[in-house]
Chains A and B, each alone.
Chain A
Amino acid sequence: MVNRFERSPHGYAYLTGSPFPSQGQAIVFNNDFTYDPVIETLWQRYIKLVGNRAPIDLVLLLVERLKQLFGDFKQWLWINVTTNKAIHGYSIDFLKDTINYSITGKRRYSVTTWEQVVVKKPGVGPVDAQSRIEEFNEIHIPNTTDLLTNWLKHKDGVCDMFYTAHILFGK
């Protein structure tokens, strides 16, 4: 059976439940843009909080869900960068800035600015896999656990993670 990747409204690919394709298996994307209902519900709960200070159980739910959606983060990134035709330009730059944030706690551009410039329901474009891979040459790609734990260590890490999850997989 072929595992189809969903595509979020901003074009990012993700799997919900089914196992990651093994080597040699075809990678197929759904053409509709579908948000992840779990992320969306957590986001709605987050933005209704007074003062944006999330209780720990809400943060843990988000981390749990992101772990499922990313699976192996390195593989997730690989699929998106090399085969997902719906992300290009700023959608790729946002991924780089996000990895950078998890490592350093600094973003080049605010996450709220990214939300406005990453294209919604993007068209598909050609993927020059090689040049895209080269864009990540200088960046150390963390595994899922390192990515998520380092992310939360930063001062505004929780807020950044909710916002980022919303852009990657939310409505």
Chain B
Amino acid sequence: MNNFEYGKKFKKGVTRNQLLDEINVTRDELTNNTVDFFDKTLKVFRRDDSILNSQLYQSERDNLISDFTRSGFLRGKNPIDMVYQSLENAKAILGFIESYIDKRVTTEVSQSSLTLVDTNVLQLLDFIGFASRYARYWIQVILSAESNHLNQLAGDIDATPYQIQWLGENRDAFGRVISLLATPVKRIESLLEDMPEIIIAEANPRALQATQGDKRIDPLKLGFVVSKWNPIWLYGIWNADRQVQRYKAAKDDKEVLEMMVMRLERQLQGHDDPRLHQIYLKRLAQLEKERGKLKDMEEA
């Protein structure tokens, strides 16, 4: 989102502790659930995605690669591995965000004191949380399509209509965010250091754009990411319940995804395990409730 718009929508003040808590929850979710799963469980697919033959994966594969390479920091021909590389790098970005907040925010950030650099940092944090979740939802659909493809059930996937809609609406943002989060942290630091010290509430965006140019005002091109989700800062979705729910849903995501990979591996070896399918469908139904609760909290 455009940094000025972002700053203006920033209604409620955010305390230092709230920010640090949010960073911790994001880190736990990213590291223990998403990256860990991509690292270990998906290793086989990261090495070679030619075993994935569902139409769903094949039809999107090239577009994903072209979106992910946009920033120039990701190379490769395997979208699953590219997502992993980007999220692995996001761990370092998160470290930078934490030290920035630690130095910059002594008590609270509010609309009147928000600087252009602050909005960049807050947006980055928001993007990391988004990418971490999107990556899991996305891989769930890919794995499910693959299992069903192997069982010749074309077109059938184990996902809710809401999930499919959410994935579709945010697909463009995902491509941009994965590409962006692959930016080396040193580069982000130096780009942000070069930004002018401007307080959003006091700024005239047009005059600034004319005098400073887009490159200095939005060096990371965050303005191109159109988010269809609700950034937490803007809507004050703060409470501890939401953070607990977010972590719980992420942990359950990981378990269901692991079972899907287990099953897929058996299928690829030529013997399906219907018992496992039943277990994960049951867990998936519970998971939908978890995700539903989280969605309600975030849209309240």
Contacts and interface: CB of A to CB of B under 8 A. Distances in A.
Contacts of A107: 40
A89 B255 CA distance: 19
Contacts of A119: 275
B100 to A, nearest CB: 26
Contact of A110 (B255, B273, B275, B276): B255
B113 interface: no
A108 B259 CA distance: 11
Given A117-B262, A117-B279, A108 B41 contact: yes
A109 B44 CA distance: 13
A130 interface: no
A117 B259 CA distance: 8
Interface residues of A, number: 12
B40 A117 contact: no
Interface in A102-119: 106-110, 112-113, 116-117, 119
A116 B41 contact: no
A12 B273 CA distance: 21
Interface in B217-265: 254-255, 258-259, 261-262
Interface in A82-111: 89-90, 106-110
A118 B275 CA distance: 11
Contacts of B273: 89
Given A116-B259, A116-B283, A117-B259, A109 B41 contact: yes
Nearest to B273: A89
Contacts of A89: 273
A103 to B, nearest CB: 14
B259 A113 contact: yes
B255 A106 contact: no
Contacts of B258: 109-110, 113
A116 B262 contact: no
A72 B217 CA distance: 66
Interface in B14-49: 40-41
Nearest to B261: A109
B24 to A, nearest CB: 14
Given A109-B262, A112-B255, 20 more contacts: A89-B273, A106-B40, A108-B40, A108-B41, A109-B40, A109-B41, A109-B261, A110-B255, A110-B258, A113-B254, A113-B255, A113-B258, A113-B259, A116-B255, A116-B259, A116-B283, A117-B259, A117-B262, A117-B279, A119-B275
28 contacts: A89-B273, A90-B262, A106-B40, A107-B40, A108-B40, A108-B41, A109-B40, A109-B41, A109-B258, A109-B261, A109-B262, A110-B254, A110-B255, A110-B258, A112-B255, A113-B254, A113-B255, A113-B258, A113-B259, A113-B262, A116-B255, A116-B259, A116-B283, A117-B259, A117-B262, A117-B276, A117-B279, A119-B275
